[in-house]
Amino acid sequence: MRPVIAVSGLRKTYGSGDTAVHALRGVDLDVMPGEYVAIMGASGSGKSTLLNMLGCLDVPTAGEYELDGFPVSELNERQLSLLRNRKIGFIFQSFNLVPRTSALSNVELPLIYAGLRRAARRERALAALEMVGLSDRAKHLPSELSGGQQQRVAVARALVTGPAMLLADEPTGNLDRASTAEVLGVFDRLNALGRTVVVITHEDEVAAHAHRVIRVSDGVIVSDLLAGVA
């Protein structure tokens, strides 16, 4: 099996000279299809920087990254944006839904960019909403949904294109306990169905759902453990 994520010697330095910040100082990481990985670390340890690299949202200063077999550093801007759209479903702390637009239309949006016709879009978006347990809220506006439901719509939007992995940055950071449990339940279910899930979090409760916990400190991986292994 080919890794979804294959990273070696990844470095990211912001700025230069005396004021340079070495946010990543040599990260090696492989993630296989079907894994459920939590990336943890204190504030400022480099988690978001790593997510930006894994999500092809920013370019590393050094190192190699293959996303589902594609060498990211060799691609131009257009190829990179295609790869990002095809391979990654992003989920952020702020749900980033389009207001005054139904849950269904929000989930359909990536399929418009992908060039699908209306009937096919609708069918796939409804299936994605069903996966997150929100079939009965398809016509609701984001403002008519709880935080947990809004984030589940965002998860449906992330998975509707059938990406190689879901990449989430503090997905429960804005949620109360009940909503956090809802969203984590959805991640569990998606992973059980074979989806690769990578979650960046500083919450133990979130990490407890993952099967593999990676800890980042000061720009390097300091531990990488399978769940249940002390």
Q: Which residues bind ligand ADP (CB under 6 A)?
A: 14-15, 21, 23, 41, 43-49
- Name which of 4 and 53 has its Cβ closer to ligand ADP: 53
* Start-to-end C-alpha separation, the chain: 27
Stretch that binds Mg ion, among 33-41, 44-52, 58-66, 132-140 (CB under 5 A): 44-52
**Count of CB atoms situated within 10 Å of the CB of 180:** 20
Cα gap 178→159, rounded to integer Å: 22
Q: Using an 8 Å Cβ cutoff, are 113 and 81 in contact? A: no
Cα gap 73→79, rounded to integer Å: 11
Q: Could you say whether residue 93 binds Mg ion (CB under 5 A)?
A: no
Specify the length of the chain in residues. Answer: 230
Task: Name which position in 13, 48, 93, 174 contacts Mg ion (CB under 5 A).
Answer: 48
Q: Which residue is nearest to Mg ion (CB)?
A: 48
User: Nearest approach, Cβ of 48 to Mg ion (angstroms)?
Assistant: 3
- Name which of 43 and 76 has its Cβ closer to ligand ADP: 43
Stretch that binds Mg ion, among 40-48, 123-131, 134-142, 180-188 (CB under 5 A): 40-48
Q: How many residues of this chain bind Mg ion (CB under 5 A)?
A: 2
Cα gap 37→165, rounded to integer Å: 11
Cα gap 23→219, rounded to integer Å: 5
- Name which of 74 and 205 has its Cβ closer to Mg ion: 205
Stretch that binds Mg ion, among 45-53, 141-149, 190-198, 206-214 (CB under 5 A): 45-53
138: enclosing H helix or E strand: none
Q: Could you say whether residue 52 binds Mg ion (CB under 5 A)?
A: no
**Count of CB atoms situated within 10 Å of the CB of 1:** 6
Question: Which residues are at the interface with Mg ion (CB under 5 A)?
Answer: 47-48
